[in-house]
Structure 1
Amino acid sequence: MPSLFFALVAVWLLTKDGWKRVIAALACVVIAVSAFSSGLLGYGAGALVLFLRKRWGYLAIWCLAAILTAALYFRNYTQPGWGLPEFSPYDNPLSVWLLIRYIILYIGGILHFHPTSVSESTIYNPAHWGSYLLGLASSSIIMYTLLVAWAGNWPFLAKRIPEWMQKKSDWWQRYPRIRLFITGAVALLFVTIYMVVNGRTTPEYGDQLFKPRLILYPTITVAMAYMMALWLAGRFRQRVFVTSLFLALIYCFLSYFYRIDSRIREKRFHTTSLYNYLHNKPGFMNDFGTWGGGNQKYNKPNVDSAILAGVYKPTDPAFLRHARLVSPERTDLPKLTIKYDSRNNTYTFRSRDLRIAYRHYQNYYLVLRSSASQFVLSLTPGQTSLTYFLRTGQYYAGDIATDVTAFSLPEGKYRVGVLAHLNNPYYSFQPDSITIQRKRPSEWW
């Protein structure tokens, strides 16, 4: 993320004197703030470095610049129109103990591959133990390294540290710029992690800890802890490296196995969303509809504007352009059962008696057609377990299915069909149909 990168560059620039460096650091933080609001934390990390260096003049100017930047940034601020914040962290604040556990879990979250519910009642789920262990180990290594780095500056500690720790502390004394940079970087990362956890979780809801878009900060934290562990290992450094390399290879395999499915789903989702956008006047169906209806109206003008401005040129997936309409009696097309959940206003389409070749699992789509609209949605296959994959080599198995939220569709009666998107695509419609009706105006896009 650019905001984090430029904030770290600013911290490094402030580890040495010079007005040019201060001006360059200010420019970097301004760029960081322009990229994302978390760039404001770069001022805090920079202030810590200047405070530790006792550069009071630079620190005063830095603080004035921080106040000015924050005032300009939040001048005429309005809340985003798409539902943030999801909740206020002050409505149901986290206890200190739960906050610490969430932070440790978040730091080790790169080991969490499966989406599971996280809350105060489920926080000790065995599925989280690996993340706990990694988060606790990484945090401990970083805190211990900082303690060793600054122990020589505190007289009450300098007299009590053992000889082997004194040698490590002396190394940091010889490289003060590295010590300052690491200290500022750790402060920046941990304050950012604190804000992510405190602002996006409650005792009842902590699922945001494992969201892929938030994995950057834990990844950098774990990488920093690894580098510190190598430094601390001394003569055992080679063993630590070899062991870490072996574990990293296992992690790469597991990460690829568990997360490639989400990338495939995401690609299919965006492809079908693009088709639905291009082939339906009201808008395109995607997860924005399930977030609250009104956002659908907001996103279509944005996409239209991007096309008119020439910054985005969509390519029609043309799912049905060359597809043949065939008889529904064909046995090589899966038949779908339809189940309606009235509580969530959602339709679930699932295959029954699925008998298709394994290589074709990703080639089937749901077709919903009314007199005014036509939508194509991905029928997603089920991912197998790791043990099943190692035994059979099959990544997908079982039924193919998809969920459709009713208020994401325009009103009307829809025929239900299945598209086989092969080299020679074909599709057919079942006798089944669904009818979308609004119970109240707010359900509309």
Structure 2
Amino acid sequence: MAEKHPGEDAVQSNPALNDQRNDPSFENIWQELKWRGLVHVSTDEDALEEALAGDPITYYCGFDPTAASLHLGHLVQLLTMRRIQLAGHRPLGLVGGATGLIGDPRQTGERVLNTPEIISGWVDSLQDQVKHYISFEGDNAARMVNNLDWWQGVGALEMLRDIGKYFRVGTMTKKEIVAKRLNSDEGISYTEFSYQILQGYDYLQLHRDYGCTLQFGGSDQWGNITSGTELVRRVENDHVHALGTPLITNSDGTKFGKSEGNAIWLDSQLCSPYTFYQFWLNQADADVIDRLKVFTFRSREEIESVAEAVQNEPFRREAQKTLAWDVTSLVHGEEATRKVIAASEALFGKGEISEIDRPTLTSVAAEVPFAEVPAAEATAVKLLVATGLVASNGEARRAIKDGGASVNNQKVLDGEAVLDEADWLHGEYVLVRRGKKKLAVAKRV
């Protein structure tokens, strides 16, 4: 049986949806957000704290369909949405079917414009993901909205006359990302330049339709977010709120949310639960407590206790195991997390290797030395050399003679024997090991 990991008993099938309204940490949600490091910039802080401490307000966060899945940067916003909902407020989850057709300006240059059909499919995918993290039941039930619903009826002349007149070009060019692009060799197209008009109008529309008074998002979106607060003020003479969460970075200053240069997606088809779990398990001691604050629903007391364990017994990696368990369970569910843990243990001889499923083996193959080997030539010697665990046939034979080589966690006795059909896991893979720590995967061809 797989070892029970720290915090496993406390995690439900989706901890983001647990009813935690009696938790004292949600009595002052503003201070809770600050303690968790989720406030980078905001409009009037005192007014926003007062609004969040009063009667339920309606707030929104938007997600543009620029890919088929959300990633870890979006998870910060999704969990922030849930935290504010647990404090009694009403969320609007906006997936931008209209803004996704335009694309917000990037520092690296113009976006490739995808077809309406592709964007529509991505909208459906992202809506399903957003729905996983907020509750659509109770007095403060969430709503899903799509800005294409109001933008598709707005013509170019109407936009320029009725909306564009409230925007000042001088103010628009001062937005940080716009200024950078204007000063770059590539410049910026009118299409991307106009993005802030679209996002600003979204806030106005949601304010009119739902009484929405708070928008939040990543601090890199602050210029677009405040275009909405300013538009509401100009058109409706109402003062509404905005919040920018920090961009998460590692303690060494590198960008958070990538593994081997690839984004960590929330869709299990794009990033397997195994890869996802290993990403969190490998967080540095210097970062792990901040990650627990941002990405889990652990209380202050629990996180402070884990922080003490990091200081006193870092070798146990209790914080990393807690973090990996919580976030993987939240995103992929408990069952998937248990399978990942069982597979991880089996890979290193602590469980039944035949029980590792094919998707997990495929994920392992992507992260360790890997080789394709003809089944008819698949001897232990050949596998060790092909996967790069040893440099030569002679070194492979010495490793086998010394008892330091295994296939599927079974010590190799005859390095020249061709593998049997039954040795191929799922008819396709074998695990090859040199010593205790050097692991590789071979695939038959």
TM-score by length of 1: 0.25
Which of structures 1 and 2 has the larger relative contact order (alpha carbons within 8 angstroms, sep 6+)?
Answer: 2
Task: Specify which structure has the higher proportion of helix.
Answer: 1
TM-score by length of 2: 0.25
